[in-house]
Homo-oligomer: A and B are copies of this chain.
């Protein structure tokens, strides 16, 4: 028997809410001699359940999914198994998403427009516990590190600002005074380097701080 036949295959779980994408990845992975798909998840909760059930070598994870958001899945899975090897695969290239996932412990991050070979290379790298990040993605993570973080309260306010709420409306919803809402908005503007709330929303959206 040849070595490659006796060596265990890389066991992969795919988590993505688009059946088409899962099909595509599954076809790609199963064509390889050294890897196989052991399960597929269509939402965040399923991803967690199936991970704990199968304990695969690699979890390929979409960021935006129903029921539970990708970052939450990363946390939960790494909590269950700190050595879990997670590869994020998403269309979102905002520095916040990248930073969150990688600093949380995901081993790789790549974009859905990546060519086949790169995707397979990433899965192999992550399966051997080697980090995989394209240079453009790594650059964004580094960029993010130089920027100030928003507090939870500021994120709450930012979300309402992005919905088009007025300071008065925001204050009412958060049970604070309008003055306090203004204070939060001001610090958001400062941190995001924006001169108006509308620009703040644009910046926050580009950076992946909010997802409309």
The answer, among B17, B23, B162, for a CB contact under 8 Å with A28, is B23
Say whether chain A's binding surface is mostly helix, strand, loop, or mixed. Answer: helix
C-alpha spacing A124/B189, complex, angstroms: 51
Which chain B positions have C-beta within 8 A of A194?
A: 164
**A166 at the A/B interface (Cβ < 8 Å)?**
yes
Copies in the complex: 2
C-alpha spacing A158/B201, complex, angstroms: 14
C-alpha spacing A199/B162, complex, angstroms: 7
Task: Please report which residues of chain A, range 177-206, place their CB below 8 angstroms from some CB of chain B when the two chains form the complex.
Answer: 194-203, 205-206
Q: How far is the CB of A170 from chain B (nearest CB, A)?
A: 11
B-binding residues in A (CB < 8 A)? 17-25, 27-28, 91, 112-116, 119, 161-166, 194-203, 205-206, 212
